[in-house]
Amino acid sequence: MKIIRILSTLDRRIIFLLVGLGILIPLLKPLGIPENITPPVRDVYQFIDTLPPGSAILLSVDYDASVLPEVHPMFLSILRHAMLRKVKVIGIALNPAGVGLGVQAFDRISKEFGKKYGEDYVYLGFKPNMAATMLGLGEEIHKVFPTDYYGIPLDSLPMMKEIHSYRDIALVISFSGANIPALWVSYAYSRYGQKVAAGVTAVMAADYYPFLQTGQFIGMLGGMKGAAEYEDLVNRLLQKKGYRKPMPFAIKGMDSITVVHLLIILFIILGNLGYFLQKKEVK
């Protein structure tokens, strides 16, 4: 009883320390638990994997650094997958604080695969009004983005000569920590029938299941788990094709998440034991 009482009234700094260690130790000594692939992630992977080479997808950087470890690995993995499959990629950003993350990701991954700017991929940058941008892309991309992120006129980019609206884009993937993927459904899917998928933070993931069931999302990556699954699928593909496997950021992170999840469950159980003990004593 005394032990339970002590364990249920731990100082918050001890909790902080345990959480810190729960993350740190698996990073230093990975557990190496393999990923299981869930249907929403597999659907996105298969969609991109079966696209004919030369088709185009649009990746929207709708997140910023506040959710970087969850969403950025998704963005990198999907970008790798698309580039490996010779799918053309259009990048845009609807979150002003995330624009530079897109610059960084495209720069890094295009170098890995030796892709050429303007021919294999473009980065169109940021627009402030989400609804107007999503709807405008259904009419004429060149009007919404007269120039790309760097100020180059879109008409002078070879790849963009054949891409004018959603009709020329196989899939839009919105990466976000907020409700922007839902807006993509409202404006791009509902009005123009554009296929949409989402890479979202775990906080948002549970909220988006209604869109999966109706087919308004063709698939979804939720949180670091979703990122780890996609990373695993792409890394296997890279290995098969003879490429060097990149450092699996999210897969490694999942080890720490496993430990912390168990810790939090333990904390909650201890907290509750203390609560019931106290209730009994009062009675």
Partner 1 sequence: MLQRKIPLFIVFLMGFLMTVQFYIPHPVSQTLYKYVLDWMNGVASMAIVLAVGSLIMHHWRRLKKPEFALYSAVTLVSLFFMAILGFFFGIREGSLFQKMFENVQIPLQATMFSLLAFYMASAAYRAFRARNLEATLLLLSAFILMIGIIPLGYYIHPRISDFALWILNVPNLAAKRGIMIGVGLGMMATSLKIILGIERNWLGG
Partner 2 sequence: MHLAADPWVWVAAILTLFIFTFLYKDNPLYKFAEHLLVGVSAGYYLAIYWHNGVKPNIIDHLGQGQLIYLIPLILGLMFFTIFIPKTSYMIRWPIAFLLGAGSGLSIPATFQANIAEQIKGTMLQPLSFYYSNAALINAIILFVGVLTVLTYFFFSKEHKGALYTTARIGIIFLMIGFGASFGYTVMARVSLLIGRLQFLLGNWLGIIPSW
Determine, following the binding rule CB under 8 A, whether residue 261 of this chain makes contact with partner 2: yes
What number of H helices and E strands is found in the chain?
13, 6
How many residues belong to the site for partner 2 (CB under 8 A)? 59
- Identify what 15 binds: partner 2, partner 1, none; CB under 5 to 8 Å per kind: partner 1
- Single out the residue of 24, 54, 140, 193 in contact with partner 1 (rule: CB under 8 A): 140
Determine, following the binding rule CB under 8 A, whether residue 152 of this chain makes contact with partner 1: no
Query: What's the CA gap between 108 and 2, in Å, rounded?
Result: 56
How many residues belong to the site for partner 1 (CB under 8 A)? 64
Instruction: Enter the tokens of residue 60.
Output: 């929207």
Instruction: Tell me whether residue 199 or residue 222 sits nearer to partner 2 (CB atom).
Output: 222
Query: What's the CA gap between 213 and 221, in Å, rounded?
Result: 15
List the interface residues with partner 1, window 20-49 (CB under 8 A).
Answer: 20, 23, 33-36, 38-39
- Identify what 272 binds: partner 2, partner 1, none; CB under 5 to 8 Å per kind: partner 1
Determine, following the binding rule CB under 8 A, whether residue 50 of this chain makes contact with partner 1: no
3-state helix, strand, coil in the chain (%, to 5): 60, 15, 25
Determine which helix (DSSP H) or strand (DSSP E) holds 59, and give its type and residue range.
strand 56-62
Bridge partners of 88, per DSSP, are 56
| Closest distance of CB 34 from partner 2, Å | 18
Give me the half-sphere count of Cα atoms (radius 13 Å) on the Cβ side of residue 54: 3
Three-state DSSP state, 54: coil
Three-state DSSP state, 57: strand
- Identify what 6 binds: partner 1, partner 2, none; CB under 5 to 8 Å per kind: none
Determine, following the binding rule CB under 8 A, whether residue 205 of this chain makes contact with partner 2: yes
Determine, following the binding rule CB under 8 A, whether residue 80 of this chain makes contact with partner 2: no
User: Pick from 170, 164, 169, 173: which is nearest to 144 by CA?
Assistant: 164
Instruction: Tell me whether residue 196 or residue 233 sits nearer to partner 2 (CB atom).
Output: 196
User: Pick from 194, 254, 205, 246: which is nearest to 229 by CA?
Assistant: 254
Radius of gyration of the chain (CA): 22
- Identify what 201 binds: partner 2, partner 1, none; CB under 5 to 8 Å per kind: partner 2
Query: What's the CA gap between 198 and 82, in Å, rounded?
Result: 15
- Single out the residue of 21, 24, 27, 268 in contact with partner 1 (rule: CB under 8 A): 268
User: Pick from 163, 162, 209: which is nearest to 185 by CA?
Assistant: 209
Determine, following the binding rule CB under 8 A, whether residue 272 of this chain makes contact with partner 1: yes
Instruction: Tell me whether residue 52 or residue 151 sits nearer to partner 2 (CB atom).
Output: 151
Taking contact as CB under 8 A, which single stretch among the options 41-49, 53-61, 79-87, 210-218 is the one that binds partner 1? Answer: 210-218
Residue 237: Cβ-neighbour burial (10 angstroms; 0-12, 13-18, 19+) = middle
Instruction: Tell me whether residue 87 or residue 195 sits nearer to partner 2 (CB atom).
Output: 195
CA distances from residue 274 to 1, 10, 17, 265, 270 in whole angstroms, order as listed = 9, 11, 21, 14, 6
- Identify what 28 binds: partner 2, partner 1, none; CB under 5 to 8 Å per kind: partner 2
Instruction: Tell me whether residue 84 or residue 224 sits nearer to partner 1 (CB atom).
Output: 224
Binding-site ranges for partner 1 (CB under 8 A): 10, 12, 15-16, 18-20, 23, 33-36, 38-39, 64-69, 97, 100-101, 103-104, 107, 127-129, 131-133, 135-136, 139-140, 143-144, 149-150, 191, 206-210, 212-213, 223, 225, 254, 257-258, 260-261, 263-265, 267-268, 270-272, 275
